[in-house]
Amino acid sequence: MLTNEMRKELIQTAVEAWRKAYAPYSEYAVGAALRTDSGTIYKGVNVENAVYPLTICAERVAVFKAVSEGEMTFSAIAVVTKNGGTPCGACRQVLAEFGLETVVLIANLGGELVLETTVGDLLPHAFGDADLEAGRG
């Protein structure tokens, strides 16, 4: 269960991460803070590149950091932008890989919660391992 204290901590951690984003081209910085079921929080920032397709989003950085440390069950992720933007489709799909029930907190740079939802609500009819199994044969 995600308490109000946990929500505040996650959003504040994402705000702190936002300050380290590398977004010289779009100037659209994103900070993320991913809470695993063990209680560990992993930060992520978007990292842009002059070759635009090589850019990576903050949400995926946080997920990949967690997975690289052996954590694969997540309870919540906070995503912070100046205007409270939601994760892109690629990030939604990566998050879906690890659980449609993960809580997604969308906040603005002031730390105000703009939207609380789940990965499943952000990505209805997500493609997953069951789809791969059904297509084999």
CATH topology of domain 4-135: Cytidine Deaminase; domain 2 (3.40.140)
Task: State pTM to two decimals.
Answer: 0.95
What is the Cα–Cα distance from 9 to 40, expressed in whole angstroms?
A: 12
How confident is the prediction along the chain (137 residues), in pLDDT tens digits per residue?
899 999 999 999 999 999 999 999 999 999 999 999 999 999 999 999 999 999 999 999 999 999 999 999 999 999 999 999 999 999 999 999 999 999 999 999 999 999 999 999 999 999 999 899 887 76
The residue type of 112 is: E
Which residue among 5, 27, 59, 101 is the active-site one?
59
Encode burial over 47-73: b for 16+ CB neighbours within 10 A, e otherwise.
bbeeeeeeebbbbbbbbebbbeeebee
Active site residue 59: yes
